[in-house]
Structure 1
Amino acid sequence: MTASGLYAAVAANSFRRYATYRAATAAGVFTNTVFGFVLAYTFEALWTTRPHLGGYDQSQALTFVWIGQAMIGAVALLGGGFQVELQERVRTGDVAIDLFRPADLQMWWLSSELGRSAFQLVGRGVAPMVVGSLAFELALPADPVTWVLFLVALVLAVVVSFALRFLVGLAAFWLLDGAGADMVSTVLSLFFSGMLLPLTTFPGAFGEIVRWLPWAAMLQVPADVLLERHSGAGAWGALAFEACWAVALLLLGRLAQSVATRRVVVQGG
């Protein structure tokens, strides 16, 4: 089997693996939908008081909410995912087995994450968006090209999210317990991705800075692509922003992996 075939098989197996968790998927859909209504009504009140806050009208702001709920599982905006398993394999020493596989450690986990994300988007992301579009007047685009650009932005968001969490997972090579790193990663993602509020609502220099951080590529940028706030060259610039962060973080992860695997330490026995 070729390397590309191997990684495709890993992704497909990951998709099938998560497809077996039907109860968890249904619970995720319910939770995302309920949380979407809470945020939507909060945004509705906020944008009634402050029309065009952050450059969005109320319909766009509500659309932003439901885009976030559709992406929350696929992009792991609230953390979780493969890095917990990776941390456990480092702690127990099972990562040594992974290193003997005829596959690159980073590419193996990236392939697995792409399979997981694909299922989460289909199984957990579509339903909340449909419910939101029925309950509220959303500003969804009619141009199919915009949807294609959004899907590209979404894939890049998944890669950026993976690359950040891969670094968190590798921290287990140096930390006895990865729970603290996971918690910090989740808080940063929640706050700086735009999950709580669009980053365009952040004031002054602080707002300018957070919009250049990698977490912005996980939700803010894909949402703005779908809302057609980036058009023409602007849309390609938004995708380039995500791609640059994806490449930079993957390279950083590869460097960290190289350093970590030179000194594999079995923690706890």
Structure 2
Amino acid sequence: MRVLLAVFAYGLRRYSTYRWATAASVVVNSVFGVINALVLLAVFETRPQINGYTAADAVTQVFLAQAFIGVTAIFGPPLELGERIRDGQVAMDLMRPVGFVRWWLATDLGRAAFNVLARSVPTFAVGVVLFDLALPAEPLRWVAVLVALVLAALVGFGLRYLYALAGFWLLDTRGVDAVAWLLGPFCSGMILPLVLFPDAVAAILRTLPWAALVQVPAEILLGRTVLPGGTLGGLAYQAAWAAALLVLGTVLTARATRRVVVQGG
């Protein structure tokens, strides 16, 4: 555990050195949040409600999505694991006296923790200042949102770990990453709340893990969770996907390790 905490701290310190890049990311996220919010406000001028969502709900989800970008890394960056597989450095990673998945998870959680403080909070604050967001008054709702944030980070890591792990078979994961960066934002509610999609399409997208990154946390914040069990059902949904992805990653890592040994890599 001490080793993993040290790895977590290393990840946090490493990303905290890119202060100007982080500041630029806050500006970019805020600007895109404002643009997206204005577009949705124009849409809701024609219809006061769409599938139970009001204009304030939609704008709130926009800024929650922008605040979650850095935590979930839905637009990247990819895990360095993919590059290390390609250039052979993964052989040294496999020799570490710590579980392979846990090592990368601890590193990535350090990155996510830094982004919560330096990127998520300022971006969401911009939305609070510029727009009338639908914010909950109950403290327990905010606690649930924090739990949802942690679970979203775990799901985001699980997905990116699988993308990187594909390098053991494909050797180059840049194509996988390119497709993922296009598919993830569309399926997660990052670009557009899933409630604005046709019902059949939204129902399909809700069954995929990407919904756990933005749509479900947004509904928990708004108190509009459509999953059975309400807020607890939404958190359970996220936890189930996080566990499934981590277990799948562990199983595939074991298979990939045997593949590396057979190939002599």
TM-score (norm 1): 0.94
* Residue in structure 2 matched with residue 30 of structure 1 by the alignment: 27
3-state DSSP of counterpart to 1:139: coil
* Residue in structure 2 matched with residue 64 of structure 1 by the alignment: 61
Residue 12 of structure 1: which of 9, 13, 18 is its match? Answer: 9
Distance in 2 between residues matched to 1:165 and 1:54, nearest whole Å: 32
* Residue in structure 2 matched with residue 144 of structure 1 by the alignment: 139
* Residue in structure 2 matched with residue 182 of structure 1 by the alignment: 177
Distance in 2 between residues matched to 1:51 and 1:265, nearest whole Å: 60
Cα RMSD for the two superposed structures: 1.8
What amino acid does structure 2 have at the position aligned with 1:165? R
The Cα shift of 1:201 comes to: 1.6
Structure 1 residue 250 corresponds to structure 2 residue 246: yes
What amino acid does structure 2 have at the position aligned with 1:228? G
What amino acid does structure 2 have at the position aligned with 1:103? V
The Cα shift of 1:198 comes to: 0.8
Residue 133 of structure 1: which of 122, 128, 131 is its match? Answer: 128
Distance in 1 between residues matched to 2:229 and 2:90, nearest whole Å: 44
The Cα shift of 1:165 comes to: 0.8
Q: Structure 2: state its 5+ residue gaps.
A: none
Counterparts of 1:178-257 in structure 2, within 5 Å, are: 178-230=173-225, 233-257=229-253
The Cα shift of 1:54 comes to: 3.4
Distance in 1 between residues matched to 2:257 and 2:194, nearest whole Å: 37
Distance in 2 between residues matched to 1:245 and 1:13, nearest whole Å: 27
Structure 1 residue 40 corresponds to structure 2 residue 37: yes
* Residue in structure 1 matched with residue 117 of structure 2 by the alignment: 122
Distance in 2 between residues matched to 1:265 and 1:220, nearest whole Å: 41
Distance in 1 between residues matched to 2:262 and 2:180, nearest whole Å: 24
Distance in 1 between residues matched to 2:194 and 2:37, nearest whole Å: 16
What amino acid does structure 2 have at the position aligned with 1:46? V
What amino acid does structure 2 have at the position aligned with 1:69? Q
What amino acid does structure 2 have at the position aligned with 1:88? E
Residue 81 of structure 2: which of 83, 86, 91 is its match? Answer: 86
The Cα shift of 1:265 comes to: 7.8
How many residues are paired up? Answer: 263
- Deviation by residue 1:145-188 (Cα, 9 ceiling, x = unmatched): 10100111111111111111101001111113211100111112
What amino acid does structure 1 have at the position aligned with 2:247? L
Preserved CA contact (<8 Å) 2:188 2:215:
yes
What amino acid does structure 2 have at the position aligned with 1:36? G
Distance in 1 between residues matched to 2:131 and 2:251, nearest whole Å: 46
Distance in 1 between residues matched to 2:90 and 2:113, nearest whole Å: 25
Preserved CA contact (<8 Å) 1:92 1:266:
no
The Cα shift of 1:125 comes to: 1.0
- Deviation by residue 1:17-75 (Cα, 9 ceiling, x = unmatched): 11110111011011001111110111110111222123211111111111011111111
3-state DSSP of counterpart to 1:141: coil
The Cα shift of 1:112 comes to: 0.8
Q: Structure 1: state its 5+ residue gaps.
A: none
TM-score (norm 2): 0.95
- Deviation by residue 1:194-214 (Cα, 9 ceiling, x = unmatched): 011111222132211111111
Distance in 2 between residues matched to 1:55 and 1:6, nearest whole Å: 47
Q: Percent identity?
A: 51
What amino acid does structure 2 have at the position aligned with 1:14? G
Distance in 1 between residues matched to 2:137 and 2:189, nearest whole Å: 24
The Cα shift of 1:77 comes to: 1.9
3-state DSSP of counterpart to 1:163: helix
Distance in 2 between residues matched to 1:65 and 1:54, nearest whole Å: 17
Structure 1 residue 164 corresponds to structure 2 residue 159: yes
